[in-house]
């Protein structure tokens, strides 16, 4: 089979790394890809939202399957577009991808079906939103309704910070039209957990759980990012709590989407908070998480392509899915200044010195044969081991071998799992 993955980050590198292990695949493509991806797939200079470019290339090159990985093209309807051109595509259709594309839609869905989540109100009027905000306890969470490259959620600790966030989103439109509506919701206390699942309608096949680290600095300090590191499994979280999350949140949500006439097919990602009252929903994503994918897929023993084909052919409930007992820890190496502005084009050295870890490229390019930085999150270094401690030691040892100007990373990834 000839398979094309849409996207350019660490998530896509991990997906391609998993797919290349399938004996059924003869050729891999990625549009547009990155420096690391170019080592395992043919990178095609087509942007993720160039629907005609993607479908035209897929038809010309007789692509058998297109895996749509990022949120933007999913929410804009790339899967629908490809299916209309008789191209087999993996990922939710536009009406199902709204579970990520609109936070207002998702909160209303959860409320309608009594699925645990934070108390909230949604607004499309700034004055009404401001008046409501001034009656709420702190800290408070303010979310732009639409996609905002992982940056549309502000946890405000002070009244001033909260009002500034609301003004930035709704009046200054710092996230564009994504800020036409906002969700204002209670701040949930507890530990975060990420659950990914292969879903086809009401068939939910769980992946192994993982835990992300969003704030940029150690100790969960500083602004939120797309994710500074992650690990799997989560040994400090009881299996009963994980099971409760599947049964009270993920499976009911898949069924609710079917009942709403929006059956979900693809990878459903639940971002959860483990509160004293039990697991509650923070958000849903309509695709593999980044960097969660980088620790989940290395633990997958079953052929990823076989799972995708089973889902597309309506037999996801029949396939056996096996997972390694190994632990995986991913440390993100970021550019100086991230998640704010950062330089690009800086040479990356030491990649060939990495011996014990996988390295997934997130924001890189190749210039004159030399890898260079080309994004905020540059690389994900993934250590694998018998337990979290061993995987973590390998990841950090190899992270230290990689060099580029201004490199920074958190030093406490997976620390809370050292039990």
User: Is-contact 8 72, C-beta < 8 A?
Assistant: no
CA distances from 80 to 63, 68, 83, 97, 183 (A): 16, 11, 5, 11, 28
Alpha-carbon distance 143 to 36, whole Å? Answer: 33
Q: Give residues with Cβ within 8 angstroms of 238, minimum separation 6.
A: none
Q: Average pLDDT for residues 121-130, to the nearest whole number?
A: 95
What pLDDT shows up at residue 316?
98
| pLDDT of 269 over the 80 cut | yes
Q: Residue 204: what are its φ and ψ, rounded to 5°?
A: -120, 120
The one-character DSSP state at 20 is: T
Following DSSP, what letter does each residue of 200-237 receive, concatenated?
A: ETTEEEEPPPBEE--EEEGGGEEEE-S-SEEEE--TTS
pTM for this prediction: 0.94
Q: How high is the pLDDT of residue 379?
A: 98
Pair of tokens at residue 178: 């994504």
C-alpha neighbours within 13 Å on the C-beta side of residue 84: 11
The string of DSSP codes covering 143-197 is: EESS--TT--EEEESSHHHHHHHHHHHHTS-TTGGGGSSEEEEEPPPSEEEEEEE
C-alpha to C-alpha distance for 186 and 177, rounded to whole angstroms: 23
- Residue 189 is encoded by which pair of tokens? 């206390």
Domains of the chain and any CATH numbers: 2-93 (3.40.50.20), 119-186 (3.30.1490.20), 191-312 (3.30.470.20), 327-417 (3.90.600.10)
209 with 360: CB under 8 angstroms?
A: no
Evaluate if residue 148 carries a pLDDT over 90: no
Tokens, residue 65: 């399957």
* Residue 68 · residue 76 · CB < 8 Å: no
- Euclidean distance between CA atoms 222 and 416, whole angstroms: 18
Instruction: Report which DSSP code applies to 336.
Output: T
pLDDT in tens, 33-84: 999 999 999 999 999 999 999 999 999 999 999 999 999 999 999 999 999 9
pLDDT, tens digit, 9 for 90 and up, residues 347-400: 999 999 999 999 999 999 999 999 999 999 999 999 999 999 999 999 999 999
Which residues, in sequence order, are CB contacts of 101 under 8 Å at separation 6+?
A: 71, 74, 75, 146, 147, 286
pLDDT tops 80 at residue 419: no
Task: Name the band, by pLDDT with cuts 50, 70 and 90, for residue 206.
Answer: very high
Alpha carbon 411 to its chain centroid, in Å, reads: 21
Q: Which of 70, 120, 119, 114 is closest to 90 using CA atoms?
A: 70
CB 41 within 8 A of CB 13: no
């Amino acid at each position: 089979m000839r398979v094309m993955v849409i996207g350019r980050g660490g998530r896509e590198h991990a997906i391609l790394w998993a797919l290349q292990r399938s004996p059924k695949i003869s050729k891999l493509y990625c549009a547009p890809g990155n420096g690391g991806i170019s080592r395992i797939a043919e990178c095609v200079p087509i942007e993720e939202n160039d629907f005609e470019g993607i479908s035209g290339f897929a038809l010309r090159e007789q692509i058998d399957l297109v895996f749509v990985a990022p949120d933007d093209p999913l929410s804009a309807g790339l899967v629908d577009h490809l299916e209309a051109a008789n191209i087999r595509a993996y990922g939710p259709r536009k009406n199902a991808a709204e579970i990520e594309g609109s936070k207002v839609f998702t909160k209303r869905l959860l409320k309608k079906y009594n699925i645990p989540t934070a108390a909230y109100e949604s607004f499309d009027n700034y004055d009404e939103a401001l008046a409501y905000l001034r009656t709420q306890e702190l800290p408070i969470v303010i979310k732009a309704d639409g996609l905002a490259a992982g940056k549309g959620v502000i946890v405000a600790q002070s009244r001033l910070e909260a009002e500034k966030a609301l003004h930035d989103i709704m009046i200054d439109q710092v996230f564009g039209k994504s800020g036409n509506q906002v969700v204002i919701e209670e701040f949930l206390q507890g530990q975060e957990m990420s659950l990914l699942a292969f879903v086809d309608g009401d068939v939910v096949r769980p992946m192994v759980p993982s835990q992300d680290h969003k704030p940029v600095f150690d100790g969960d300090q500083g602004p939120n990012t797309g994710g500074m590191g992650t690990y799997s499994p989560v040994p400090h979280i009881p299996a009963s709590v994980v099971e409760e999350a599947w049964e009270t949140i993920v499976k009911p949500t898949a069924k609710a989407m079917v009942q709403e006439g929006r059956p979900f097919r693809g990878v459903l990602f639940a971002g959860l908070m483990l509160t004293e009252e039990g697991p509650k929903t923070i958000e849903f994503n309509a695709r593999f998480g980044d960097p969660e994918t980088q620790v989940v897929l290395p633990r997958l023993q079953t052929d990823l392509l076989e799972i995708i084909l089973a889902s597309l052919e309506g037999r996801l409930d029949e396939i056996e899915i096996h997972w390694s007992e190994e632990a995986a820890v991913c440390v993100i190496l970021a550019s100086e200044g991230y998640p704010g502005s950062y330089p690009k084009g800086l040479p990356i050295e030491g990649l060939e010195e990495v011996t014990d870890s996988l390295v997934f490229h997130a924001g890189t390019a190749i210039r004159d044969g030399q890898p260079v930085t080309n994004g905020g999150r540059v690389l994900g270094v993934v250590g694998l081991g018998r337990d979290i401690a061993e995987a973590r030691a390998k990841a950090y040892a190899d992270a230290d071998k990689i060099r580029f100007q201004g490199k920074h990373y958190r030093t406490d990834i997976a620390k809370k799992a050292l039990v």
